[in-house]
Amino acid sequence: AAGVIQSPRHLIKEKRETATLKCYPIPRHDTVYWYQQGPGQDPQFLISFYEKMQSDKGSIPDRFSAQQFSDYHSELNMSSLELGDSALYFCASSFSGSSYEQYFGPGTRLTVT
Amino acid sequence: GEDVEQSLFLSVREGDSSVINCTYTDSSSTYLYWYKQEPGAGLQLLTYIFSNMDMKQDQRLTVLLNKKDKHLSLRIADTQTGDSAIYFCAEEWDTDKLIFGTGTRLQVFP
C-alpha cells in the first residue's frame, strides 16, 4: 500500500540558510500534519492543513511557514536556520472521514551546522 | 492539559509479555494511540482505541483504557526481538493533532 512520502530524507544546512521539506500524503488523504522530533524527544506538533487551509498551529517558530497545494502535497519552509532546528521532521496524513488514523512518513532528518 | 507520561525503559525476555503504560491528562481526548518507532525510522501506527472503549485486542496487541484514571496500557503478547523499539502513546487533542508521550524504550533479550 502507498505510504506517506517525504523528501529529502536527509538534509544538511548551515546556520542562517533556508530549507524546504516536502510531503506527499497517502492518495485520497486530504489532511497533512507536520511534527518535529528533537534528539531523544517525543514528536511535537507544528502545523496542520485540511483541504489546503491551515487547520491548526502548534509550536511552530515564526521563521517556519508551510502550505498545502491543490494536489494535497505540503511543503514546510524553514528560514534563518538555527542549530536547534536540527531534528527529524515528520509529515503525517489522514483522511478527514477517518481523521483518527494518522499515518506518518519516514521523516526528513535535518542537520544544521 | 498536554502532559502524556510514560516510563522510559522496559526490558523483557523473549516470549514473555510486555506491558507499556501511559498516563494522559486530557479527559476529552476522543482517540488514544500507540505508535512504534524503530531506530532511525518513522512512526508506525500500531493501534488506537476510542475513548468509550475499555479494551481493544488486535492479534498480539491488547490495549486497555481506564478513563477514570486516565491510564492507557499496551500489552504485547509473546514479545519478540523484532518488537524492540520505542513505543509512544499519543492522545488526540483539539483539532486532531496528536500529543505524544515521552516514549518507552522496549528492549527484548533472548
Q: What is the pLDDT of residues A43-82, one digit of tens each?
A: 999 999 999 999 889 989 999 999 999 999 999 999 999 9
Contact A104 B92 (CB under 8 A): no
- Residues of chain B numbered 20-59 and touching chain A (CB < 8 Å): 30-31, 33, 35, 41-45, 48, 50
Contact A18/A105 with Cβ under 8 angstroms? no
pLDDT at A110 over 90: yes
Measured in whole angstroms, the distance separating CA A66 from the mean position of its chain's CA atoms is: 8
Contact indicator for B88, A42 with CB cutoff of 8 Å: yes
Say yes or no: A56 contacts chain B, CB-CB below 8 A: yes
**Contact across the interface for A106 and B41, Cβ inside 8 Å:** yes
pLDDT of residue B2 exceeding 60? no
Contact by Cβ (8 Å): B37, B85: yes
Q: Are strands A87-94 and A74-78 parallel, antiparallel or unpaired?
A: unpaired
Where on the phi/psi map is residue B18: left (φ > 0), alpha (ψ -120 to 50), or beta? beta
Q: How many CA atoms lie within 13 A of A45 on its CB side?
A: 24
The confidence score (pLDDT) of residue A100 equals 74
CA separation for the pair B61, A22 (Å, rounded) = 33
Q: How close is the nearest chain A Cα to the Cα of B52, in Å?
A: 14
Searching chain B, which residue's CA lies closest to the CA of residue A34? B97
Closest CA to A5 of A78, A76, A74: A74
CB < 8 Å to A90, chain B: 42-43
A25 interfacial to chain B (CB closer than 8 Å): no
Q: What is the pLDDT of residues A82-109, one digit of tens each?
A: 999 999 999 999 988 666 788 999 999 9
Q: Which residue do the cell numbers 518507552 mark?
A: B104
Model confidence at B1, in pLDDT bands (50, 70, 90)? very low
Neighbours of B49 (CB within 10 A): 20
